[in-house]
Amino acid sequence: MNSIPRAQGFTLIELLIGMTLVGFILALLFAGLNLGTRSWEAGEQRMVTSSRQAVVVDFIRRVLERTDPLRWRVDEEDQLAFAGEAESLRFVGTLAMHEGATGNHLIALELASGEIGRDMVMRWQLPNPREPGFAPLEQAEPKVLVKAISAMTFAYFGAETDTEEPAWHDQWLNQKAPPELIRLRLVMENGETWPDIIAAPRVRRE
């Protein structure tokens, strides 16, 4: 008696097992692709953040280096146009203007309330020859340089008197000349600490 040949093929269980394995492999592939995409985006974001940080650091350093030791007459006294405190700095410096021209401006670097914590802002204003002092800065619009700051600290290196050795100070007020060095330290709300910004004022008048 001849036997009837059985058709070759897969059983339902074998098909289910195969589909499950394919689904598992695809899930692993998509998970790896998703992880790679997130890693790429995170690396790209770090590069953007690092690049912006470098631009801001360079800008602040250049502004501080252009400090001008201007003296003005206030309340019958000659005063240096430089008021450095722990969380703010006001001074006269050279800023680029339109069409490549440059000129001295009153400049303030300070903290202001922001969306997250505080922001570092810069204000500048042309000085008023008939009104010596930093009062015109109160009318200047602040421009945000760095957002979400937890702490901003200035320090000033120099000798406060002729008999003292140069050292770091948290204030530089009513001095004869600008400090030899200005240091700015920034700590962000996320805990990140920026590299110290250290600048040496280049313009020195006797």
Q: Which residue numbers in the chain have pLDDT < 70? A: 1-10, 36-37, 39-50, 97-102, 203-206
The per-residue DSSP string of 123-157 comes to EEE--BTTB-SSGGGGGSPPEEEEEEEEEEEEEEE
Whole-angstrom CA distances from 68 to 12, 34, 62, 196, 204 are 86, 54, 12, 22, 7
For the whole model, what pTM was predicted?
0.73
pLDDT at 20: 84
pLDDT at 41: 60
What's the longest Cα–Cα distance across the chain? 130
Residue at 73: amino acid letter: R
Distance in angstroms (rounded) separating the CA atoms of residues 93 and 202: 11
pLDDT at 18: 77
Distance in angstroms (rounded) separating the CA atoms of residues 135 and 1: 116
pLDDT at 206: 43
Q: 42-76 pLDDT, tens per residue?
A: 555 555 556 778 888 999 999 999 999 988 887 77
Residues 6+ apart with CB under 8 A from 84: 90, 91, 154, 156, 171, 172, 173, 179, 182
**Exposed/middle/buried for residue 111 (C-beta within 10 Å: 0-12, 13-18, 19+):** middle
Distance in angstroms (rounded) separating the CA atoms of residues 82 and 46: 36
Cβ atoms 110, 87 nearer than 8 A = yes
